[in-house]
Structures are given as C-alpha cells and as structure tokens.
Structure 1
Amino acid sequence: MSVRPRKQRRGEVNARILKIHEAMATKVLNDPDLLDGVRETLEQRYNNRLMRYGSYMLWSSILETVNNPELFKSLLLADDERTANLRRETIFTGVLSEEERQHVLTSE
C-alpha cells in the first residue's frame, strides 16, 4: 500500500476540482440561464450561515464578471490557495450532470 503525503493528495484533489470547474465555467458561459441556480445556491448558503461573508463576497465578485468570459474564467480558476479552497465548497452544484462530471474526470 502506497502512502502519499497529505499535501500531495490535496493537490490531486484540487486538480480534479479545477478540471470540473473548467467544464462548469464553459457550460455556464454557453448557457447563462444556469447562473440562476448558482446564484440561488450562493444566497441560500449565506442566509443559512453555511458560508462566511468573505466567501460570499468572493463568489459574488466572481459571478459579477460573467459578462467578461476571460475574466470570469481567470477568477474562477485562479491558482491561489484561497480560490482553491473556495472551489472545494462550490456554489456551482447541479451545473454538470453526473455523466458530464465523470467524462471530465476520465478525459485528458
């Protein structure tokens, strides 16, 4: 049995989450109506105190840039630790079907 350091496992998980968010960003940009559900999730989580104000503001700021696709993707897919942690508790639930998610994870 191979034991990988925690940091390596975390990096692998972050890479998979990033890949999924790349696909979700593309899908949302191609179908902006999907943002209604994303915004609803954001508001519900914040109102139910499942999200701190800082995360709420960061997500809100990212969503405000959706009319500028390059900026939207660069903010959503940023390589910093804060954004990686934010993606771990994504508000983009339901954007991809399970089949789409599996396809993203199994394709290179």
Structure 2
Amino acid sequence: MLNGECIGVVCCTFEIVACTKTLYIMSLAVHPLYRCRGIGAMLLDFAIAKAESHRVPLVRLHVQVSNGSAIQFYQKRGFVIAETTKNYYNRCIPADAYVMQKQLQA
C-alpha cells in the first residue's frame, strides 16, 4: 500500500505436489507505474520466507509461455522451467503456461 493505494500483491497457498510440501504462487502483480523498483522482488522474497518458515522445500507457479519479462524475473531469482502445461489459460493466447519452480533449503 502506498497512500492508500494497492501497488502490489502476492497470493499463494500451501499444497502437496507429488508427496512434496509446496508453496504455490497463484498471483504476483505490481501496478505498472511502480514496476522496476524492487517491489515484485520484495513480494516474492516475502512468499519464499513464509515457505522457509514452514519448512516447505519447493515453490511453484505458472507463467504464460509468452511472458518473457516474468520468465526472466523468476529465472533471475533461481526459478527454473520444470514443465509446460498445455491450454492452462482459458482466455489468453497463447494458452500454454510454464510451470516454474525453485528448490529451497528446507
């Protein structure tokens, strides 16, 4: 929040994926006027710290295959592309998404 305006958000949940405790990031967004100021990195760091405090060894998320800036953002922070999910998005073209993940020290 800045002057009563929401400038960024991270929404995540704990899940079990293939018998592994996982933090799944459902959404991470920063208002366009406030991008490239480290806010997204702070939000991601906050989510990762929550995972670590719960001893969760893996963080996962989906990102549209054409979203180069988001892919680069996550790769710069240690995420790797683990798989591709075909037709993940209902209203986006392309509809495919990468599953990106980061292994944590649990």
Give the TM-score range, shorter chain: under 0.3
More helix by share: 1
Q: TM-score with structure 1 length normalisation?
A: 0.26
Q: TM-score with structure 2 length normalisation?
A: 0.27
